[in-house]
Structure 1
Amino acid sequence: MILFKLVLSTFVGLAIGLIHKDKNASRVFTLICVGATLATIISVEFFRLIDMPWHSDPARIAAQIISALGFICAGFIWISDNKKVKGLSQSAGLWYTAIIGMLIGASLSSLTWAVLIFVFLFYITTMNIAKILKNLIK
């Protein structure tokens, strides 16, 4: 089951990364998704594997994933020479890709699929709207 989760998160991260314009984005998105999945699996399974009588708090590591991503994503955002904010959508994409990875790691399959469908529909819709607006402006 763990191997399936890691393979699934690899494909999910790759698919989300391929949507972005940057050709290197697929590697980054894949690593973020797999890393979040792995950290969540460790968080959920740790005490089960060492057979300790107390239960783990999976929210602890999950909270640190979100904190770490906030730090990483802040590095993706910059202001260009012509005073435009760049990297915001890629940063947000990394953030929700990590959350999807956490959903996979926590075995929340129904929610994972619902979020994936929503994300891809959102991307398709916004790309089409952007094309329409670009044609209207010309």
Structure 2
Amino acid sequence: MNMEYVVMLIMSVLVGSLIGYLNRYGRGTAGARTYALICCGATLVTLVSRYFFIDLGKPWFADPGRLSAQIIPTLGFLATFILWFVESRAEWISIGVNMWLAALAGMIIGSGFGWRALLAIGFVILVLPIIRKAEERIRARPAAQDQTTEKAET
């Protein structure tokens, strides 16, 4: 087994675990193990789609996009299952988005661009707290306006 594949798989488990940890930290329901499996699975599918026919000695049959293209519909099915059978609240939509992010990170790693996946996840880690603070301010503003309106009316 090529050591490059092992590094890709380890990297995908770490990135997926990080996404899962951030989801749990943000009061999500799925944990690091779930997202590590999604990211690692996407990496494995991408690696198979890249190298399967080449290893068979038939590189002219290689179509890396065909098998990898099935990752996103599979996640759509899983996200629909979660929303349909568990509970259909707006907060659960973030699970589908996080699953999508983990799968895309796995596909990027499996394509041989692991450092770009780490850079993208690092960017997400930096941006999410800023967005969360902005949401808190926006949500707090109408409540504060309602209180001042009530005081003015009395």
TM-score normalised by the chain length of structure 2: 0.76
User: Is residue 91 of structure 2 the alignment partner of residue 125 of structure 1?
Assistant: no
What one-letter code is carried by the residue in structure 1 that aligns with 2:108?
L
**Residue segments in structure 2 that go unaligned for 5+ positions in a row:** 145-154
Between the aligned residues of both structures, percent identity stands at: 30
What is the match of residue 66 of structure 1? 72
What is the match of residue 88 of structure 1? 93
| Deviation for aligned residue 1:109 | 3.5
Distance 1:86 1:78 in 2: 13
Residue aligned with 1:33, SS: helix
| Deviation for aligned residue 1:55 | 3.9
Q: How does 1:1-138 map to 2 (within 5 A)?
A: 1-20=4-23, 21-22=27-28, 24-77=30-83, 84-109=89-114, 111-133=116-138, 137=143
| Deviation for aligned residue 1:78 | 5.0
Larger Rg: 2
| Deviation for aligned residue 1:53 | 4.5
| Deviation for aligned residue 1:110 | 5.1
Distance 1:24 1:84 in 2: 15
Superposed CA RMSD in Å reads 2.5
**Residue segments in structure 1 that go unaligned for 5+ positions in a row:** none
**Greater helix proportion:** 2
Q: How many residues align?
A: 137
Tell me if structure 2 keeps the 8 A contact 1:32–1:94.
yes
